[in-house]
Structure 1
Amino acid sequence: MLAFIGKAFVPYRTIEVGASYVRYIKTKTIPFPNSTEKNSLTVSYLTESCGLSLDKASSASRLVKIRNTEKPDSVLRFLHSQGFAKHDIVTLISKQPRFLVASLEKTLRPKIEFFQSLGMGGEDLTKIFCANDRILKSSLENQIIPFIDFLKGIVGTNENVVITLRHSSRVFNAQFVKVMMPNISNLREQGVPEGHIRRLMMCYPRSLMFRVDLFEEAVNEVKAMGFDPARKSFVWAVRTKTCMSKANWEKKKELLLGYGWSEGEFQSAFVLQPNLMATSDRKIMKVMDFLLTIVGLNPLDVAVYPNIFLCSLEGRLIPRWSLLKILMSEGLIKHADLGCAFIVNNNYFEKKYVIEYEKNAPEIIKAYQDGTRFKGLVADCKT
């Protein structure tokens, strides 16, 4: 049968070969339709009317077929009327080309107007539709509104709902009845204040999308480490545990222990600052190398101030160390608690080390205030 694919029959003829007669069928190949020609309307519409590049239009044409322009024209007019800029439409159609052929009155208008009623617009609105093809497929009445009502019951206001969706628009992919509700109930049973649960939902909603049994395991581990459920650090520790695999946790822990921390120092540092373990390996190594090699702190000094790992090396640690080093070398200060000096806020640091000495070392202080940051010293300090 395969021999006949793509062939057209013509009358056969017989030839004589020796004592035998052989009949053969004369065939000719009929070309298949060119897929580019077939999609020419779709591609040209995506490039000319929607503003997509040829590459993006070709890719999008695999997911949507435009046979006439009436429906997509009405969709584009509606998007423009709702304040969608050209780049918003390019982003939206590139990621969700089926948007163009969705029903305007039954699907698009009600959903977009619903999200706008929450106070969402511009890039936030584009982002939520780009990130979730399920929004187009989900029922507004039966799925989207119940989820938003649930979310609002946790975070309190429409403004906070928008903040939550901005932090993780994929929260729509969560099974909020089967997963998020049980996880929130778990936190409440532990005695976690509603304000801390609200903060976790708004900043890291993906933590509450964690599988129920694994979420419970993470909560139990955090409690075993000595975290108090009544303190904000408890939910940040839960967030860190749910966002890391056990293998990555152990790898990062071994990295810190490799710099001389004991098991107890690691445990204490994590309790003081749970976001320590959310810091990248590269950042940990750069900060540790700077503090131990350049500044001369010992591992215990660093463990006592784990907030240091959340500070910018180039933006805070190096400039402050440069200033403190010169003040000490000039004899203007005899000693400074360097760990504390690195983590205090700018107002406190400048009051204690800048304003205090601006008369005695005006050039040094001016360099710090102007942001020149002692460029030679900074180069020496970088690792």
Structure 2
Amino acid sequence: MASNVPMRNLLSLVQNRSLKTSNASSPSPLTVQYLLSSSVLHFESAHSVSQKLQIDEGDLQNPHYVIGFLKAHDFKDAHIAKLIHKWPAVLHCKVEHNLKPKFEYFIENGFVGEILPELIVSNPDVLRRALDSRIIPCFELLKSVLGCSEKAASAFKRCSVSMMSSMEPNIDLLIKEGVPVDRIAKLIMLQPRTIQQKHQRMVYAVKALKDLEIDSKTTIFIHALRVMLQMSESTWKKKVEVLKSLGWTEEESLQAFKRCPFCFTCSEEKIRSVVDFLVNTLKMEPRTVIGRPEFLMLSVDKRIRPRYNVLKILESKKLVIGNKNMKQLLTMRENNFFQNYVIKYADKVPGLLEAYEVLPKQYR
């Protein structure tokens, strides 16, 4: 919805604002006026966009044509405002030569209704890329791996078309190394940009996992690949050193990664915090922690400490047997723990709900 600023005051507002943005491009009053009159931007947004976009008096028809085209394809004002804010140059796109062919291709391949605006707004880059040499090859490759247009459309929304050149060699590499196509498809659906990493980066990650003897046919390989691609070699070494400083051997650290790759995504601070609480407060044997690397993924404040508090209270009231298996309690599903250890005893133990600290909304 446009700003309510009277048009006669527009020039003075823009000029005053220009004095405060001397390091930026000067906004064009005509551009601001057009953006406001188009009824999709407020004054603040119009002013910001006008510093990146110049609309000439003789070229007002094209932006108007673009906005009309977008509205005809289920774009609401909010969609158009976000798109212009992300990529102002969309208003200079030629509808017949740029937008129309791409929209027709997307619609033919399942991007209908709200899906099309969501695609364009979330990833305006597709409008900057060539249809025949970039968009179509990328989408067709996704469809060949995922098996249908619907899944390909879902993945395409989260892909970077500018990075599609590495996608095919990366997929070929994974297939060559024995990764089943259905596992590759799962990886793409989970995190499509993983498959768009630079090819040399993918080669490095796959080799590292082979050196760790992680079976490429397993689901754990896919999870490990996602993690390995996120880390530089120095970051990897640092994570191993953190675990070694806590008493783990290098072999135990590597085994932890092989069992639970995502534990290596935890920060050093989190790893130390979890191990400290488990060993020094819960009195858990270090060997137990080493054998359960998934514990490193748990939150001390949201999972470990609240459950420990509840257990200690119930033990003090002799409502549960002492030395209850904390390993099972820590990994128990939230609803199961809450029902069996909090709600079950809430009437008998005043303050138990409050002690839990992470109550579901209905109990707060």
TM-score, shorter chain, exceeding 0.5: yes
The alignment's C-alpha RMSD in Å is: 3.1
Check if 1:341 corresponds to 2:325. no
Check if 1:61 corresponds to 2:45. no
Structure 1: distance between partners of 2:189 and 2:204: 22
Per-residue deviation, 1:199: 1.0
Q: 1:163 corresponds to which residue?
A: 154
Per-residue deviation, 1:308: 2.4
Per-residue deviation, 1:97: 0.9
Among 291, 306, 316, which residue is 2:303 paired with? 316
Give a deviation string over 1:150-206, Cα, whole Å, max 9, x none: 01111222232233234x332x12233xx2222222222222122211111121222
Per-residue deviation, 1:241: 1.0
Q: 2:253 corresponds to which residue?
A: 266
Check if 1:307 corresponds to 2:297. no
The count of corresponding residues between Structure 1 and Structure 2 is: 332
Structure 2: distance between partners of 1:102 and 1:180: 28
Structure 2: distance between partners of 1:169 and 1:58: 31
CA contact (8 A) 2:26 2:51 kept: no
Among 30, 34, 40, which residue is 2:29 paired with? 40
Per-residue deviation, 1:101: 2.0
Q: 1:230 corresponds to which residue?
A: 217
Q: 2:19 corresponds to which residue?
A: none
Q: 1:80 corresponds to which residue?
A: 71
Task: Please list every run of 5 or more consecutive structure 1 residues that lacks an aligned counterpart in the other structure.
Answer: 1-34, 377-383
CA contact (8 A) 1:257 1:263 kept: yes
When residues 76 and 346 of structure 1 are mapped into structure 2, their CA distance, relative to the original with a 3 A threshold, is same
CA contact (8 A) 2:183 2:219 kept: yes
* Letter in structure 2 aligned against 1:112: F
Structure 2: distance between partners of 1:204 and 1:338: 33
Per-residue deviation, 1:95: 1.1
Name whichever structure is richer in strand by fraction.
Answer: 1
CA contact (8 A) 1:183 1:208 kept: yes
When residues 205 and 75 of structure 1 are mapped into structure 2, their CA distance, relative to the original with a 3 A threshold, is same
**SS class of match (1:112):** helix
CA contact (8 A) 2:142 2:156 kept: no
Q: 2:185 corresponds to which residue?
A: 198
Per-residue deviation, 1:87: 2.2
Structure 1: distance between partners of 2:111 and 2:348: 48
Check if 1:211 corresponds to 2:198. yes
Per-residue deviation, 1:372: 4.1
Structure 2: distance between partners of 1:313 and 1:194: 38
Structure 2: distance between partners of 1:281 and 1:48: 52
70-79 vs 304-313, greater mean Cα deviation: 304-313
* Letter in structure 2 aligned against 1:243: Q
TM-score normalised according to structure 2 size: 0.79
Q: 2:132 corresponds to which residue?
A: 141
* Letter in structure 2 aligned against 1:147: C
Task: Please list every run of 5 or more consecutive structure 2 residues that lacks an aligned counterpart in the other structure.
Answer: 1-24, 359-364
Matches within 5 A, 1:270-309: 270-309=257-296
When residues 70 and 131 of structure 1 are mapped into structure 2, their CA distance, relative to the original with a 3 A threshold, is same
Identity %: 30
CA contact (8 A) 1:96 1:130 kept: no
CA contact (8 A) 1:270 1:277 kept: yes
Structure 2: distance between partners of 1:253 and 1:262: 9
